[in-house]
A and B are shown apart, each in its own frame.
Chain A
Amino acid sequence: AQSVSQHNHHVILSEAASLELGCNYSYGGTVNLFWYVQYPGQHLQLLLKYFSGDPLVKGIKGFEAEFIKSKFSFNLRKPSVQWSDTAEYFCAVGGNTNAGKSTFGDGTTLTVKP
């Protein structure tokens, strides 16, 4: 069975600070990895995804994530956060044998102080 662990439940940063949110997964096969964001009052949106190729993935709004296979990690980063990045962030893992099913982490709440 696959599982996802997000270590940070709540992160508080000031504007312009750098961000790194941890995500570790457990899965026995080839993985697909996702980061989703849920802004207050809005639905989940895809930030970025990794299926294969370059392990450093760039997404929307200046976010990137690095897939490190040896560490089973897919951490999300942004060099300089903005107040508008305040949201809930979910890491998810899917496998190519799961017909698209994904397992989500518990989420990390990011609060950016202006």
Chain B
Amino acid sequence: GAVVSQHPSWVICKSGTSVKIECRSLDFQATTMFWYRQFPKQSLMLMATSNEGSKATYEQGVEKDKFLINHASLTLSTLTVTSAHPEDSSFYICSAMPIAGGWSDTQYFGPGTRLTVL
């Protein structure tokens, strides 16, 4: 149980294009999902909290107009990297928190999406 998927698992795009990454909770509902960015040999950096039916909450320093988040249903959140540039190349990971647990519940992580911008 508690499986989170991401699609695509890796993507290569040209500079200036936009890329959409999907995060799905497969066997549970999640009002809250989180998007992280992980650089090689480094920890996860929280980018934003995605809330179903409302606007995402972005961490300080994260451009909300560049990283568009949509949480349209209880099982799907999307992250769109707009006008991607090489410095956006990274490993993007989402996590989902089951709906029933409230603040104390555990996050379940997706496998990540490797984005390479040429």
Contacts and interface: CB of A to CB of B under 8 A. Distances in A.
A104 B107 contact: no
A32 interface: yes
Nearest to A45: B109
A82 to B, nearest CB: 23
Given A90-B43, A99-B32, A104-B43, A43 B111 contact: yes
Interface stretch (B12-20, B66-74, B78-86, B97-105): B97-105
Contacts of B107: 46, 100, 102
Interface residues of A, number: 24
Interface of A: 32, 34, 36, 42-46, 49, 51, 90, 94, 96-107
Contacts, number: 52
B interface residue count range (under 10 / 10 to 19 / 20 to 34 / 35 or more): 20 to 34
B43 A42 contact: no
A58 B109 CA distance: 21
Given A43-B111, A90-B44, A98 B106 contact: no
A99 B112 contact: no
Contacts of A103: 46
A100 B111 contact: no
Nearest to A96: B103
A75 to B, nearest CB: 18
Contact of A100 (B43, B45, B97, B110): B97
